[in-house]
């Protein structure tokens, strides 16, 4: 009986994740890459990148990034980390305070088991969802690439994670 239960969980897990991403607004989501971020043996989160019908990664196309947290972070930690990484990737562009201000309403504290999904159906908009509830919509020029570059750019802090997520 226990083996049947485990088998059902293993089968239902990916379907449930796909459903969450579909509810968040990405049509026909299929995982094209996944990776875990861990530092010194401590996993921070598992990440999956979805595209419609499993299309190859392309900055010009819709996508969704799902992060399943394995440890807790405060909302301030998430926002501060976002700002740090955008500045590191882009340099000190004049509009970073505006971008961070727009993102400031998106983040809530996370604990082990919580998830965030960032859906970018267009280059100028992202929708963030925490545990199945939408936390914000940010509309700003090129916001999809600017935000998701933290995980998906060749200039990401963790290039191996970035390449795995992009299916490379």
DSSP 81-124: HHHHHHHHHH-S-TTHHHHHHHHTTT---B-TT-EEEEEEEETT
Confidence band of 70 (pLDDT split at 50, 70, 90)? very high
In the chain, what is the straight-line distance between the N-terminal and C-terminal CA atoms, in Å?
39
The residue written with tokens 């509830």 in the block is 133
- Among 117, 138, 1, residue whose Cα is nearest residue 48: 117
Give CA–CA dist 127/114, Å, rounded.
Answer: 17
Residue pair 142/99 in contact (Cβ under 8 Å)? The answer is no
Confidence band of 41 (pLDDT split at 50, 70, 90)? confident
Which of 14-18, 29-33, 118-122, 158-162 is the least confident region? Answer: 14-18
State yes or no: pLDDT of 8 exceeds 50: no
pLDDT given for residue 11 in this prediction: 42
Domains defined for the chain, CATH in brackets: 2-165 (3.50.70.10)
**What pTM value is reported for the model?**
0.87
Mean pLDDT, rounded, of the chain: 90
Would you tell me the crossing angle of helices 96-103 and 75-90 to the nearest 10 degrees?
A: 150
State yes or no: pLDDT of 23 exceeds 90: no
Biggest alpha carbon–alpha carbon distance for the chain: 60
């Amino acid at each position: 009986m226990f083996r049947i239960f485990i088998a059902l969980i293993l089968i239902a897990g990916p379907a449930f994740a796909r459903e969450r991403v579909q509810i968040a607004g990405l049509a026909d989501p299929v995982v094209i890459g996944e990776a875990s971020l861990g530092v010194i043996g401590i996993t921070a989160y598992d990440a999956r990148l979805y595209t419609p019908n499993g299309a190859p990664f392309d900055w010009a196309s819709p996508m969704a990034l799902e992060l399943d947290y394995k440890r807790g972070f405060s909302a301030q930690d998430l926002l501060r980390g976002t700002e740090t990484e955008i500045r590191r990737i882009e340099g000190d562009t004049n509009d970073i305070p505006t971008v961070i201000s727009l993102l400031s309403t998106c983040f809530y504290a996370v604990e082990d088991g919580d998830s965030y999904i960032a859906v970018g159906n267009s280059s100028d908009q992202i929708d963030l969802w925490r545990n199945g509830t939408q936390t914000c919509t940010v509309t700003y020029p090129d916001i999809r690439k600017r935000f998701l570059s933290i995980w998906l750019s060749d200039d990401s802090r963790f290039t191996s994670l970035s390449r795995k997520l992009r299916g490379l």
